[in-house]
A and B are shown apart, each in its own frame.
Chain A
Amino acid sequence: MRKVQVAVSGLLALMTVSAVQAATDIVEFVSCPVYRDARAGKKSGCWLADAPESGSRFDISASPVKPDWNYAVLVQGQITDNADACGGKVLNPVRVSILSEPCPQYRLPAEGYPGNPFVRPANIVKPLSVDRAPLTGPFEDKQFHVFFNYNKSFLSYQFGDYQLDEAAYWILQAKPSRVVITGFADTHGITVSGHELREKEQIAQDRADIIVTSLLRLGVPDDTVATQINMAPELLPGETDGVSGLVTTSRWRVTINAYFD
């Protein structure tokens, strides 16, 4: 019975997201990435990808996780009018998930494109040597989300690690009596560019385990932490921290609920 409910809710959610994405210039596609060898300093090379549905070329360089030129990528991003520095319509925000489908390596020369000079992301984990301002209460029940890439349980550098660090810091300061960690996997999945993309069930547990392990190592008391998994993640509102309007990606997450019972 419960499995049926999960499937239905997943389907409803899928329909909802399609509507949202169509309305906000959000594109979603699977293709092979192209690397443009622009040279404007470290990390300035361009990542491009062509949407198979339209043939349009997009600049997906702004993704927190960049492509691997040996594998296809799932791209979800919002079209902008930003200046073209790489040879494609700029997507920002944009999320790239690396898939297992192989691709031929393809490197373009700069061809006059300047590329994207590296800018340190605003939200990154602070060094341990930097003092952090203490949080002041009163504290009440609070929810955090840590986002992953499609079918991955890896805590992405300068993205997922920051989200976790913010949650951990709050938990360590607020000292809730109970911390419930829910690992999600979108086993119902989505179809993009003809690819049926369903997450493995095990990913939900793996995601939860990574967050639990990390929280314990960061100092959250063992006896306050409980875990659960869920195969029917509902979409989060686009304005949720870390979602940035790309609501489909919100299913690939861990949710941390802190309670003061």
Chain B
Amino acid sequence: MKVFCLNALMQASLLTMLSVSTIAAEVTYPEGWIKPGESGTFKQSQTHSNASGKVKVLAEGQLVEMSEHPFFQALSENGRACISCHQPSDGLSLSVKTIQDVWSGTQGRDPIFAAWDGSNCPDMPQKEKASHSLLLDRGLFRIQMPWPPAPRYGKEVTPDFDIEVVRDPWGCNSSQKYGPDAAEPSISVYRRPRPVANLKYLTAVGFAYDPKQGVALPRDEISGEFLSGNIMSDNRSVNLKAQMQDASGTHLEMLAALTNEQVEKIEGFILSIYAAQVEDNDAGKLDDGAFGGPELLRDSKPGQLGSIGRAVWSEFEPWEEQKSTGVTPEQADKRASIARGARLFREKMFLISDSAGINSPMGFGNPVLNSCVFCHNMSQMGNDVAPGQVDIGTTTKPFAEPAPELPLFRVTCKGDPHPHYGRSFLTQDPGFGLVTGRCADTGKITLQSMRGLAARAPYFSNGSAKTMGDLVDYYDRRYQINFTEQERQDLINLMNSL
């Protein structure tokens, strides 16, 4: 554990939570934690332990002096920096375990618990742990979306659905200050922070068309390049620069926009970061005879379809025919399991049904027989080569878990009904629909990054899968795959090794 003097850590907004006289206790942080404003250079190669093994983070290019770099600087009064929620030890995201450790070590006074989005709602009593339950239990930050949606690609968005608040456990969707009836109408949803690593894969473009929207890909207004559509859980920001401005204005609560110089520096830095699990507690080094770890990610060309290039997770193919020399039987068994998991990921066929972005509207059919790589199709990374907005039901009824701690909205389509949910349905997070205003997009969430997963549980955008086993089980139930216990474990072992 790192120990810091709280006086040196606290920022202005935190002082509103505590009287100065109480700021005397030492605070502790988990091993590897980098706090805003920390001095020293960001290590160009670092490994951090997690429950499954170790994650490795590579930083390309020039050494970065953290205290002088805007990614690491607290640029606003709430004391946060980008690094606050994108920690190398957590694969450049934040695990719930880390969040809980930070709460314990700082008595809830670290800037990640800022009232704006680090609590269930800003007007709740901030000193109380219960006010931060969604962050502490599920790793969720509050995302306040404008309603109706903000203009997109320079055009006004007129939603083709109505949204009604059915359940509002924290008051952030039904008060005079927050919610669709507030002076500035909004919808608050709660989501996991996405990892800021391996980003060249998320900005890569394989084809000029968006098959899920049936139109050519939009272009970046400044660079003129095609936009991948794979930034953020709902693609509300279409490129990294826009994402940074969105994050600085919300998570950092900056009153002014980031300067161009700050944007350039942050963009350069985050595009230089690669993260992947590099060691498994049982299998040993994931690049020992196989190609796990971040080096192949760093050195490969992004945007390649696994079906016509290097097969997805073929990194572990060499372990299919394990040479047992130099490894223990336990190591050999675990390596074989990881390799089987990789092949299952590609080859275990199941019927995918009633999932917008897959079964509609592209014409694959509903249902369609395919495997995990149907969507997780990009070599080395497992995200979608096409814009990856898909609804597998994690946030929308009847597929979503009950989750009474999350808000619930009734969506009513004004035009055509939703292709799978009908005219009216319930959702905890309308996802992409809050951005496009299209009923057919409601419930769609951009596919997750799949590297460094072991460092950043829980999973899915709403943190509904606490463990990798929960994640596999969700798919098993949702699509009635009927994994054997061995298959389930092989997939868990694979994904913990990515």
Residues of chain A having any CB pair with chain B under 8 Å: 35, 37, 39, 41-45, 47, 64-70, 100, 107, 125, 127-129, 152-157, 159-161, 164-165, 168, 210, 213-215, 217-218
| Contact, CB under 8 Å: A165 / B368 | no
Query: A42–B353 Cα gap in the complex (Å)?
Result: 14
| Contact, CB under 8 Å: B369 / A43 | yes
Query: A66–B365 Cα gap in the complex (Å)?
Result: 4
Q: List 25 A-B contacts (CB under 8 A).
A: A35-B367, A41-B349, A42-B369, A42-B370, A45-B365, A47-B365, A65-B363, A66-B365, A67-B365, A67-B366, A68-B359, A68-B360, A128-B206, A129-B206, A154-B361, A156-B214, A156-B363, A157-B214, A157-B363, A160-B214, A161-B209, A161-B214, A213-B216, A214-B215, A217-B218
Query: A107–B366 Cα gap in the complex (Å)?
Result: 11
| Contact, CB under 8 Å: A64 / B216 | no
Shortest C-beta distance, A76 to chain B (Å), equals 15
Shortest C-beta distance, B421 to chain A (Å), equals 11
The interface residues of chain B lying within 8 Å CB-to-CB of A164 are 216
Query: A41–B351 Cα gap in the complex (Å)?
Result: 11
Interface size on B, residues (CB 8 A): 39
Given known A128-B226, A217-B217, contact A69–B367 (CB-CB < 8 A)? yes
* A-contacting residues, B353-385, CB 8 Å: 353-354, 359-371, 374
In the complex, residue of chain B having the shortest beta-carbon distance to the beta carbon of A214:
B216
Q: Interface digits, B387-429 against A, CB 8 Å rule (1 contact, 0 not)? A: 0000000000000000000000000000010011000000000
Q: Which 3 A-B pairs have the closest CB atoms?
A: A66-B365, A65-B363, A214-B216
**B305: Cβ under 8 A from any A Cβ:** yes
| Contact, CB under 8 Å: A70 / B420 | yes
Q: At the interface, is chain A mostly helix, strand, loop or mixed? A: loop
Query: A119–B364 Cα gap in the complex (Å)?
Result: 13
The interface residues of chain A lying within 8 Å CB-to-CB of B218 are 217
The interface residues of chain A lying within 8 Å CB-to-CB of B211 are 157, 161
The interface residues of chain B lying within 8 Å CB-to-CB of A44 are 369
The interface residues of chain A lying within 8 Å CB-to-CB of B416 are 100
**B170: Cβ under 8 A from any A Cβ:** no
**B257: Cβ under 8 A from any A Cβ:** no
Shortest C-beta distance, A106 to chain B (Å), equals 11
Which one, B215, B226, B308, B360, contacts A155 given CB within 8 A? B215
Given known A156-B214, A217-B219, contact A45–B368 (CB-CB < 8 A)? yes
Shortest C-beta distance, B224 to chain A (Å), equals 9
The interface residues of chain B lying within 8 Å CB-to-CB of A217 are 208, 215-219, 226
| Contact, CB under 8 Å: A154 / B368 | no
Query: A107–B303 Cα gap in the complex (Å)?
Result: 36
In the complex, residue of chain B having the shortest beta-carbon distance to the beta carbon of A64:
B363
In the complex, residue of chain B having the shortest beta-carbon distance to the beta carbon of A155:
B214
